[in-house]
Structure 1
């Protein structure tokens, strides 16, 4: 069973990366259900008597290897729901986020730990020749699994998804608010540019009216005109860059970023 991949152990810069890493961690935890089933299945393979004859030692060794793999994976999930990854692959900030949810659901965390212990019991019993011990370990493992463990895993993951959706909503709201603020700033900048341009035009008219005495005013008018054009260019460039980032036709709609970043 493949494991979700994690690229970094630090808090990434983009909303998309943050979402992807949390989603991968939730998927990893969700596999605990299937792994518990697989551990019981391969433990049963090792316990049962084959009516067609004994399996080869190589085949039984393969089954033990699969069983041990499930045991290790379940133990890892039990650690992650408590806020730490033994393999150090899940980023620390994601583990802390999951651990916080685990602290709010101590019974479910206890269910993970118990299943980890029971799977270890099955794996240890399967490694020996005590058939009765393996039978008893499998019996408890199956009863606990059917007694609500799978529902516990589902409920825990559903809770994480709800938190993730809530955080995405908050990020959307923040992006929307930031977009509105930037749009207002750009609008104000454009208004200032238009006002400066108007002042430049009035100064040019006045300089022309007074003749030689207005040469100094004419120079100022030219500078004001240059400033107005620069302000307009900066505002236009900013809107174009925002439109490129958001994929929108109008730079004013930066708020759409919150809807498109995932």
Structure 2
């Protein structure tokens, strides 16, 4: 007896699954690369390790990213640099005062960057920038410059509205950025070496090892910053 022919739906299911798997590979590779870059640093991470963690061959990785440098750049764009346009739109549409905007700035940063593995990218760059000047230049152009420009816009908006006193914006932007930088460095250096706090129920590691609450620290920094910026 002849076997019945597979239905069109059954025949097309496997190609569809393969297509979905292929479309997911860049994201899987970027996630694996982020993990390894943060864990081991740029120099010590090998593309073979990234491919193995993503469950593909090294050749497959090179189909999407032609070199380790391009892979790293893609990780930075995926997790940080590619978000500035979205943050600028949020700033442009924000209707509250400068105090509410600065609080929103810290909250969004902590939720989307500071408490995630992406925070380790900044520590990595500070550690290895001198050995990889091309990557340092890339990071400066695609992360540092737009980041400081965004903070500058927040301060300029506040000054124009009479909610922030006039100040030197070239250095004033770092008043806002410094608490963020401290948390990223602490989280990716000393925090992982300390015993966990018994009163911390957060599932965010390595933040559970911090001797203080990151949220409480940011709240204290915001309060101190606002006192200094008010007219």
TM-score by length of 1: 0.24
**Structure with greater helix percent:** 1
Larger radius of gyration: 1
